[in-house]
Structure formats: structure tokens, C-alpha cells
Amino acid sequence: MINACPYCGAKNRQGILFCEDCGKGLYDKTDELTIPGRNGSSSLSQEMIDAREGYVPLGDDQALVMYIRNAKAPITIDTTHAVTIGRKGRGVAPDLDLTPYGALEKGVSRVHAVIQVVDNIPVITDVGSTNGLYLNGNQIPTETSQILCDGDELHLGELVVHIYFE
């Protein structure tokens, strides 16, 4: 099923919480939130940039790669659109399904977070996860976005992920 955005009318894939074009929330719980849209209409706040002083943007020739602790191979994130991260269940199919990595046992929500790259800056947003999203040991408040930097460590519940720009 494809969800039409009530703000811009763009068609979005099933399981997406935020419009891939304009970044507005697609459901009642998310309708007042925005994340940067694919069309670049939203921008990063200066407060977000200041919070990650010294960050280096993702290079044009680099990929955003996730290394999951104890996994055999890394996962390259498609940075051309917003990517939902979570686990399959009850009709939910996130873009990046962490079920094969023990997501259920480690407390990963069905839709845990969203990663999007804006102006070569990767941003992660906790979209209401049950067991929290932590960046380098600090909890990202629900419905809040943070810039990702090369070498960051994420905890999605108890699932540990390292982010690299390669």
C-alpha cells in the first residue's frame, strides 16, 4: 500500500512515517514533526550543527555504512531517500530490517529510527522507539534528530551499531 502525503500529495512507500519528498509526518502522531525531505526543502538547524561541532560531511564519493556488532558483513545505507530502521512484524516492513541481527531479542522497535542524508550530512531521528536510541552513549530524545559522524556508535535498544563513512 502506498501512502499519499496529506501536505504535498507525494506517494510514499508502506511503513514510512515521514514524507520522502517534503519531510512532514504522515500520521497524527507525526504530523507536527518534520525531517529533511528528499527535495531538500528542509534544512538542518544551526542548533543541530552546533551540537556536533567538528563534524565532517559525508563525501560525494563515500557511502554511509553500518557495522552491526557480531554481524558477518556491513550494511550500506541507501542515502537517496529516508530509510526507516526497525524489524518486521504486524504488517510493518521497515526499509532496513534488523530482524536477522536479533532485533526482537535486543529491543529494536518495528519502526525504531529514520536515517536521511541532507546536504551530505547524515541525520538520525528516533521515531518513538520503545527502548531508546543512543548516540555515543547519550539518549536521543523521541522525535528528535541528531547528526551522524564517521565512527559514531548507536544503540537501538541493546543492538550496537557503528557508523562509518567509506
What CATH number is associated with residue 75?
2.60.200.20
**CB of 126 closer than 8 Å to CB of 141:** yes
What are the tens digits of pLDDT across the range 93-141?
A: 899 999 999 999 999 999 999 999 888 889 999 998 999 999 999 999 9
Q: Is residue 37 part of a domain?
A: no
Question: How many Å apart are CA 67 and CA 41, to the nearest integer?
Answer: 30
Q: Is residue 22 part of a domain?
A: no
Residue 59 buriedness (CB in 10 A; 0-12 / 13-18 / 19+): exposed
Q: Is residue 20 part of a domain?
A: no
Q: Is residue 9 part of a domain?
A: no
Q: Is residue 153 part of a domain?
A: yes
Q: Is residue 143 part of a domain?
A: yes
Count CB atoms within 10 A of the CB of residue 100: 10
* Number of domains observed in the structure of the chain: 1
What are the tens digits of pLDDT across the range 22-62?
A: 666 666 544 444 444 444 434 566 777 777 777 788 888 99
**CB of 56 closer than 8 Å to CB of 163:** no
Phi/psi of residue 29, nearest 5 degrees: -65, -25
The per-residue pLDDT for 155 is 96
Question: How many Å apart are CA 108 and CA 119, to the nearest integer?
Answer: 28
Count CB atoms within 10 A of the CB of residue 128: 16
- Domain of 80 in residue numbering reads as 44-165
Q: Is residue 35 part of a domain?
A: no
Q: Is residue 65 part of a domain?
A: yes
